[in-house]
Amino acid sequence: MVSESEAVDALERLGLTSYEAGVFVALQKLGSGTAREIARCSDVPRSQVYTTAESLEDRGLIEEQHATPIEYRAVAPDEARARLSDRRRDDERRAFDYLTAVEHSLQDQSDTSADIWTLRGRDNVTRRVVQLLDEADDRVVFGTASVELFPKTVRDVLAGLAEDGVRVVVVSRDPEVLAHAESLPGVDSWSLDRSYVTDIEGGRLLTIDGEAILLSVLGAGVEQFDEEHALWSSGSQFATALLQLVDGWFDRELAVA
C-alpha cells in the first residue's frame, strides 16, 4: 500500500504545493473539517490552512461551507483525479504549443559545421536511430555486433524502408543479427567474418544517404547495453568527412566480398 508521504509526493508532482497536498490528504481522511482540525491532521500550520484552502477551492478540489468556524470538505478522489488530469493536459498543451512555436526561433541557421551530438543510454540511442531512419531516401547501412542492439522497432523500420525502395544493408558478425536481417524482405545482410573485426566490441553504426551518421560504443559493466554512448551528426562537415571514410570502406569491401 502507498504511504501517506508517497501520496503527498505524488500530488506535488501532479502540480499541488506541499501545503495543498497536505490539506487535501487531511480532508480526505476527515471528510470535512475546520482549519484547526486540518492543522491537527497535517503538517500545515493553521495560519496557512486558509490561503491553502482558497487555492484548492480555485482548483476545484475542495468546497467551503460558510459557517462559523468555516468548514471545508474535499471532492471525491475520482473527481479530483479527473480535475487534475484535465488541468495537467491543459498545461501540457499550452506548454508544448509554445515550445513548438518558438522551436529554433533564435538558432543561427547559417553554420551547422559543428553539429555533433551525443547520447547516453540504449533506449535513447534506439529512439535516435529510428528518427534518423525515418529520414532515409536512398541508402541505409546499419551495423551492430550484438542482437540486443537490433530491436524489433529498428527491424520494422528497416523493413518498411526496403519496401519503399530504399537500399538497406545490415552488417554484423553476430549470426542472430544476420538471421534477423535475412528475415526482412528486401534487406541485404553482410557478414563481417574477417579476422580484423573479430575483436571489435562496438555498439552500433548507422549511415543514412551519405548525409547522417551515428556511432555508438558500450560500457564495460554488467549493464553495458544500458551504458551505450553514441555520437551522431547530420549535414555537417564532420558527418561528411566520416561518411566518406565509412562509405568508401564499405563500398570497397562489398566489391571484394
| The three-state (H, E, C) secondary structure of 185-210, written as one string | CCEEEEECCCHHHCCCCEEEEEEECC
Q: Tens place of pLDDT for every residue, the chain, 257 residues?
A: 889 899 989 999 999 999 999 999 999 999 999 999 999 999 899 999 999 999 999 999 999 888 788 999 999 999 999 999 988 898 899 999 888 888 777 766 555 445 788 888 889 999 999 999 998 998 899 999 889 999 999 999 999 999 999 999 998 888 999 999 999 999 988 887 654 444 445 789 999 988 888 989 887 654 555 688 988 888 777 777 777 777 666 666 555 55
Per-residue pLDDT, 107: 64
Burial class (CB in 10 A: 0-12, 13-18, 19+), 210: middle
Buried b / exposed e over 91-117, threshold 16 CB at 10 Å, is eeeeeeeeeeeeeeeeeeeeeeeeeee
Per-residue pLDDT, 221: 54
Per-residue pLDDT, 218: 86
Residue 211 · residue 235 · CB < 8 Å: yes
Per-residue pLDDT, 47: 92
Per-residue pLDDT, 247: 67
Per-residue pLDDT, 193: 62
Identify the DSSP state of 149.
Answer: G
Per-residue pLDDT, 252: 62
Per-residue pLDDT, 222: 43
On the question of a cis peptide bond just before residue 69, with omega within 30 degrees of 0, the verdict is: yes
Per-residue pLDDT, 106: 74
DSSP run (H or E) holding 102: helix 77-102
Per-residue pLDDT, 200: 42
Domains (ranges, CATH) in the chain? 4-101 (1.10.10.10), 117-256 (3.30.870.10)
Task: Output the nine-digit C-alpha cell for 46.
Answer: 493553521
CB contact set of 113 (below 8 Å; sequence gap of 6+): 236, 237, 238
pTM exceeds 0.75, yes or no: no
Per-residue pLDDT, 197: 43
User: Measured between alpha carbons, how far is 20 from 124 in angstroms, rounded to an integer?
Assistant: 36
